[in-house]
Structure 1
Amino acid sequence: MNVNRAILISFLFTTLFSCSSILKSNETRSKQYVILKLDDLWNEEDLVHNGWIEVINFLNQENIKGTIGIVGNSLETDDNEYFQWIKTRNNEGHEIWNHGFCHCKRLEGEIDIREYRGEGLEEQFESIFKTQNLAKEKLNITLRSFGAPYNSTDKNTIVALEKIPEIKVWLFKENSSQTEKFVINRINEINIEYPVHIPDYEKFKEGYLNHSSEPIIIIQGRPRSWMEDKIRFEEFKKIVLFLKNRNVQFVTPYEYYQIKELKYDSI
């Protein structure tokens, strides 16, 4: 009788432990990832814009990773204080990513030409490549992700990026042509800003709750704009804290790429 009781207890314990492990495993698999795609870092009068300083300080305080889209021509200086600010953010775990070289556009007649939509292949390649090289030279950082200014790209962008294998991730690829890069696209209904430059917590929340089961959410904003009205920054903070309270996992684009690649390799 005692032996049978011991066997029964052992069976129950094993079953409970197994169920607990399965629940934990499912919990891990169902965790939602969030990427904060923050655009347009450049130095202004040899200073980092206060919007960037305030946003990164807030994220650090909340122990949340963000991303910093750097415009490459801002590295064509000898501003060591600017360089050190960026390197410190990289060391904190925020991803520095390639946001083009000049963030420029121009008109040719009535045609709107942008840095990566309408320019030739050679021009696009040189633009991306210069930013990669300046980041290595001035920051000792290899940029692993790319997102175009204005999110505007064409088929030449695909070919240009294929020539730079160290870039693994493409944020907000605009066209449907095939690429070898790991693409992370947005859900148009979910964003930080409504309209551009103006964070809106209620509109974000409405869009988010319609897509709350998505495995990955990437949302875009521009910290430089949020200092024009203190309400904008407060709305951004409300969005981030809402997500944090839902126990999402904030990651960078390259981290998410590595998570997915590891998952595929293990199948």
Structure 2
Amino acid sequence: MRNRIYFLAVVLAFYWPLQGQDSPQVILKLDDLKNESGLVHPGWQQVMDFLNEEGVTGAIGLIGNSLEKGDQEYINWIKSRHAEGHEIWHHGYCHCRPTVAGKEVREFRGTSYAYQLDNLQKTQQLAREKLGLTLLSFGAPYNNTDSSTIRALAELGDITTWMYKETSAPTEKHVFKRIHAVNIEYPVHIPRVDKLRAGFKENRTEPLLIIQGHPRSWVDSPKRFRRFKRIVRYLKKQGVRFTTPSAYYAHINK
């Protein structure tokens, strides 16, 4: 009897600390894919080649008007990334700063409902025509949104998930919240391994972490790209499961 109790105590001592310690799923929210003289920026090429080598999926934020020029090499590159399992998501139409009443605003904050709806629809249409894809996820340029964004997105039934919703107004879309302590870049465009590790350790009990970065900026200095690689490899060692917005949404709603 004593031996059985001792055995159970040893098992519990080993097993109990592991409860609730499962590593989270991670979405790599990669922003600002656009047409660069008919081609894909080298930063994007290097980042996606590296992710494929590591067997890691990412989420590519497409700026819609980049499809208007019709450069086939650019379009084929995007199609290939989709075929590999990476998700192409709606990152606005122009990623611009329009002027309203003499004041600089953002594409999805401070502009009218009609303007926002038109931009959302144009990108969806371009993706269908040029890529043969229906974009399922949305994330605004600069992560700036307002109540008009809620109304406009409600008209797009295809879009089911929304990354980094800023406004507090309710929406029927599945919102992926932002945890500011977990990011690739500190400040924007500058990868920091130490900051990522600290934020991850603090939030590793979350079921999902969405980590934002900008691949175009990481080839400005070899150090930046090396840091990004270290971040991905660190996360892999922590046992995270990389996913995409629509894949995660399908998983929790299956």
TM-score by length of 2: 0.90
Letter of the 2:190 counterpart: I
1:52 counterpart residue number: 44
The yes-or-no answer on 1:99 pairing with 2:91 is: yes
Please list the CA deviations of residues 56-97 of structure 1 after superposition, one character each: whole Å capped at 9, or x if unmatched: 000000000001100000000121111100000000000000
Question: What per-residue deviation string (whole Å, max 9, x for no partner) do you get for residues 184-215 of structure 1?
Answer: 01201110000000000011111111111111
Match of 2:4 in 1: none
Matched residue, 1:168: 160
Structure 1 residue 30: Cα displacement? 3.9
Rg larger for: 1
Give 2:122's aligned amino acid. Answer: K
1:115-148 CA deviation, whole Å, 9 max, x = no partner?
0001100100000110000000000011000000
Question: Are 2:212 and 1:220 equivalent residues in the alignment?
Answer: yes
CA contact (8 A) 2:100 2:110 kept: no
Distance 1:29 1:95 in 2: 28
Taking the TM superposition and a 5 Å limit, the aligned residue runs for 1:173-184 are 173-184=165-176
CA distance in 2, matches of 1:136, 1:32: 32
Whole-Å separation in 2 of the counterparts to 1:29 and 1:184? 21
Q: State the AA in 1 paired with 2:25.
A: Y
Taking the aligned partners of 2:119 and 2:99, their CA distance within structure 1 comes to 18
1:247 aligns to 2:230 (yes or no) = no
Out of 232, 255, 258, which is 2:250 matched to?
A: 258
Alignment of structure 1 residues 19-168 onto 2, 5 Å: 30-108=22-100, 111-168=103-160
1:17-70 Cα deviation digits (max 9, x unpaired) = xxxxxx9xx989945100000000011111100000000000000000001100
Deviation at 1:111, TM superposition (A): 3.4
Which portions of structure 1, spanning 4 or more consecutive aligned residues, are displaced by more than 2 angstroms? 26-31, 106-112
Residue matched to 2:186: 194
Unaligned runs of 5+ in 2: 1-14
User: Residues 233, 185 of structure 1: CA spacing in aligned structure 2 closer, same or farther, 3 A cutoff?
Assistant: same
Question: Within 2, Cα distance between the matches of 1:247 and 1:61?
Answer: 17
Once the two structures are superposed, residues 211-267 of structure 1 have per-residue CA deviations (whole angstroms, 9 ceiling, x without a partner) of 1111100000000000101111111111110000111110000011111112xxxxx
Flag structure 1 segments of 5+ consecutive residues without an equivalent.
1-22, 263-267
Aligned-pair identity (%): 50
Cα RMSD, aligned residues only: 1.8
Distance 1:191 1:69 in 2: 16
Stretch moving more, 168-177 or 106-115: 106-115
Give the drift of 1:107: 4.2
Aligned length: 239
The one-letter code of the counterpart of 2:37 is E
Paired residue secondary structure (1:208): helix
Question: Structure 1 pair 28/210, CA: closer, same or farther in 2 (3 Å)?
Answer: closer
Letter in 2 for 1:236: F
